[in-house]
Amino acid sequence: MGTGKRGLMATAVAVVCAVTVLAAPGTAFANPTPSPTPSAGPALAPAKDLEAVRKKLDTLYRAAARATDEYNAADEKADKQSAEVVELAKKIVKGQEKLRKLKDRAGAAAAAQYRGGGLPPEAHLVLSDDPQDFLDGAGRVREGHHATKGLLGELTRTQEDLEQYAKDASAQLKKLQAGRKAKAAAQKKIEKQIAQAEKLESELQKEEQERLAELEKEAANRAQTAWLGSGILEEINGKASEQGKKAVKYATAQIGKPYQWGAEGPETYDCSGLTSQAWISAGRGIPRTSQEQWKRLRHIDIQDMRPGDLIIYFDDASHVAMYIGDGAIVHAPRPGRTVTIAGAGTMPILGVVRPDAG
């Protein structure tokens, strides 16, 4: 039993250790001469080609965002499963200690019965000087038998509990291993998409990169203008709750800090890391990922949203931002960008959720 206990403790320690394991716009034009002069340098890409690059980058970064949500979900699940395995390991250790004590008690009871046994009850009666003493003793024997029976029952239940704990721990370890594989696979997806996007951007000349940044701003402005043009802002006049004000204060205080996938602050954030930490600071714990925030938080009609509410973007709920009022959001956009304020309508809105407990 001692060897099993040491093995259990080693497993618990091993589990704990493993757990803690886009300026001014450039102008692109065709050279009017049949061939460039030697000092002309490489030609800039046509605007339509840069627009194709912008769309390709958007696709790559959105894929990275989806993979980031997968990574965050797997990470959160692995943390939970690890904690459950550790708790089960503790229960097994305690159960083994309880079993040892019960066995000691059972052994002592058996020895006592052996010492007092040997003669039949009739002989005890004959040899007894006082029949009443015999009757009292017989009563104690019956009580002892009942106690021994209860002790054996407790021993059996404790052994059954230990067997169930061991089965549960084994199942949780398998889930934990699967979760770690999912987390590693999601990390590879993120790194692959970001590497492709960075390579695509690095191949552009400085002027093209500046023009690309301008194209991004123009696309965002068009989307925001169209959203505001619907008259939606005239219908949105909700007042922030006290918790909502605290969440907005926290989120806006992070403006300028870099985006980092999988990060929850305090120096870097991904989109859902920013929103979840902002609400934690307001005293309200919410799901870690944008997809879970969409699934589990209360849905609100867009015309009823107020500062502090979360806007979920894209059909796959792969991005989230916090509404701060006047048609604006604060969010962590993507790799290579910082936490910033933008128009709420700059991306396709899936819906709005409200973290407030009420």
Which is higher by pLDDT, 34 or 15? 34
Distance from C-alpha of 40 to C-alpha of 53, rounded to nearest angstrom: 24
Predicted confidence at residue 147, as pLDDT, reads: 57
Neighbours of 306 (CB within 10 A): 20
DSSP 33: S
Mean pLDDT of 124-133: 54
Mean pLDDT of 25-37: 38
Burial class (CB in 10 A: 0-12, 13-18, 19+), 318: buried
Three-state SS at 322: strand
- 326-330 long-range Cβ contacts below 8 angstroms, 24+ apart: 326/233, 327/224, 327/227, 327/228, 327/233, 327/236, 330/248, 330/251, 330/252, 330/254, 330/255, 330/274
* Alpha helices, H only, 128-205: 131-202
Mean pLDDT of 123-136: 53
Distance from C-alpha of 268 to C-alpha of 336, rounded to nearest angstrom: 12
Condensed to tens digits (0 to 9), the pLDDT of residues 171-227 reads 878 878 888 888 888 888 899 989 999 898 888 888 888 888 898 889 999 999 999
Which is higher by pLDDT, 3 or 228? 228
Predicted confidence at residue 115, as pLDDT, reads: 58
E strand map for the chain: 298-300, 310-313, 319-325, 328-331, 340-343, 349-354
Condensed to tens digits (0 to 9), the pLDDT of residues 263-288 reads 999 999 999 999 999 999 999 999 99
Condensed to tens digits (0 to 9), the pLDDT of residues 143-171 reads 545 556 676 777 777 777 777 778 877 88
Condensed to tens digits (0 to 9), the pLDDT of residues 239-261 reads 999 999 999 999 999 999 999 99
The pTM assigned to this predicted structure is 0.64
Q: Does position 348 have pLDDT exceeding 80, yes or no?
A: yes
Condensed to tens digits (0 to 9), the pLDDT of residues 80-109 reads 777 877 877 787 887 777 777 777 776 766
Q: How far is CA 248 from the centre of its chain?
A: 22
Q: Does position 57 have pLDDT exceeding 50, yes or no?
A: yes
Q: Does position 320 have pLDDT exceeding 80, yes or no?
A: yes
Average pLDDT, the chain: 78
